[in-house]
Amino acid sequence: MKWTAVSVSASLLVAFCHGFQSKSTLRRGKTLRPIVFKELKFKPDLCNPCIRTGPSPHTNPISGTSTQLQVSPLTTIASSPLGAITVLAGIVCFHELGHYLAARSFNVTVTEFSIGFGPKLLGFEAVGNEFNLRALPLGGYVRFPENYNTTVVDAKREAAREAFMKRREEENWTVWQDAINIATLGLWDEQRRQKRKKQDAKAKLELMKEQEAKAAQSFWRRLTFSRKRPVEVVELDPEDFDIDYYDDPRLLQNRPWQERAVVLSGGVIFNMILAFLLYFGEINAGSGIPQPVFDSGVVISQTPRPDGASAGLLRQGDVITGINGRLITLSSPSTLAAQKQVSDVIGVIRETPPGGTVQLQVKRDSKDLEVTVKPKTTGAIQSIGVFLGPNFKEIQKIKSDNAVEAAQLAIRYLSQVVSQTIDGILSLIGMLIMGQDPPPGQSVSGPIGLIRSGTEVVSTRDVAAIVLFAAALSVNLGVINALPLPALDGGQLVFVLVEAITGRKVDQRLQEGITSVAILFLLGLSVSTAFSDVGSIINSR
């Protein structure tokens, strides 16, 4: 069994990439983790008296003020995709270290600590464990031994599978029956099978009573019937098999629920610790964390298209301060709030009925104007033919030379990053479930998109950019793993909490079945996003 985690993201004041990963208990503890992440283009914000004014809005908020790595063969290699993969592997390693140290602190048996999956490249043994680096460093795991004889159980499972396939063929299952059985994790067929067994047992009991009644009709047979009663041979159903679990107290599955909860939470906790240390170091010893500040309104960021609905009406640099009589107000000067303004304005425009108009309140060169625009239908979407962006004001920096104050600022900044990360991910997941398109600036990507984004960050050789990239990656990994999804640490923790509340362990085979379905879903999502990433790269050229 493995408690694993892997996730990927990128951050450079313009994007956070939020990662889905999968985790599964397979045969002999082997686990495969496909990666999916969601790219949410927003930046966390923190307003406090310790923020310092940074460079002008026309300069790079990071590279204009932070340390640049000197060009060398090593930094040239780091600027390639290998650099992004190295950062990712480091974050995953720290996550798995949380699981590993928590397990060892409770004297739980651990067999392997691995970064990556696939063929082993390097490895060594120490403190009774294997430490390996594998070919694909996009994940990692801490491997715990199974709590049963895997050889015996595998043989029983294979026999059960063959018996099920034979029965399925004899019963001439339809496609709909297969679909229902898969959707219910096999519970539909199990209930049918148990119901049939009860019916068979009842029929056998009635037949036995009938035979005894007939025997009672003859005095001689009544005297001899009990002696001559045939011995009933009960055939064991291969689909009904028990697993003999070990009672070794050093196995993770046999530890108290509190200890298992700590082991499961160790990776997420270490992710947050790492993010805090990175933020603290940048605030206290580095150049500070750049913080964009925004005003109310939405900016026309480019010249309107000549054939667009706004041609001749709007200009580049115009600030839309209201739409259809409603003022555009900013709830906070953060990037998330500013981009929500942009999404809201676009939403109003798209909801305009065909042939309708939108009334825009526009500020141009300190003058307030009223502009009426009739959107054009592009495909199935209403559009006014302009690019909209947040109303950027300035770049400030979170910086303090006082260690205590820097720690407080780092905690506040981390808490806001976590909060906004959760809000962004849950919002995007909700839209995907409802079948809605992600808002402008948000998209779903996979590992290819991550490596591409990460390479752009690392290639700047900007220490501050790389630090923020790694911190955002760590926060993302922690948040994603904390989600109550069966294939993630949070989902496994739910099973432990159910045990704590009910006082009974959740059936291990049921857990594995639920996790397997979640893995299949994430695998499909991974393949889908991989094709999307490739298409995005091709279209960008």
CB 444, CB 9: distance < 8 Å: no
Q: How many CA atoms lie within 13 A of 454 on its CB side?
A: 32
**pLDDT value for 25:** 31
- 22-74 pLDDT tens trace: 233 323 333 333 333 333 333 333 223 233 333 333 333 333 444 554 444 44
Strands 2-4, 376-378: parallel, antiparallel or unpaired by DSSP? unpaired
**pLDDT value for 533:** 64
**pLDDT value for 174:** 86
CA atoms of 467 and 278, how far apart (whole Å): 6
- 286-305 pLDDT tens trace: 889 988 889 899 999 888 88
Q: Is the dihedral of CA 406, 409, 415, 421 positive or negative?
A: negative
CB 417, CB 282: distance < 8 Å: no
Distances in Å between the alpha carbon of 438 and those of 118, 382, 441?
Answer: 34, 16, 8
**Tokens 């503890």 found at:** 29
Q: Is the pLDDT of residue 18 over 60?
A: no
Nearest CA to 53 out of 280, 290, 284 is that of 290
| Mean pLDDT, rounded, for 86-109 | 92
Please state at what angle helix 403-433 crosses helix 463-482, rounded to 10 degrees. Answer: 50
pLDDT band at 513 (very low <50, low <70, confident <90, very high): confident
Percent of the chain at pLDDT exceeding 90: 26
Listed in order, strand segments (DSSP E) in 318-418 are 319-323, 326-327, 358-364, 367-373, 376-378, 381-383, 388-398
End-to-end alpha carbon distance in the chain:
44
| Mean pLDDT, rounded, for 462-490 | 87
Distances in Å between the alpha carbon of 260 and those of 1, 153, 212, 476?
Answer: 13, 24, 55, 23
- 305-333 pLDDT tens trace: 888 888 889 999 999 999 999 999 888 77
Q: Is the dihedral of CA 187, 190, 194, 195 positive or negative?
A: positive
Q: What are phi and psi of 4, to 5 degrees?
A: -130, 165
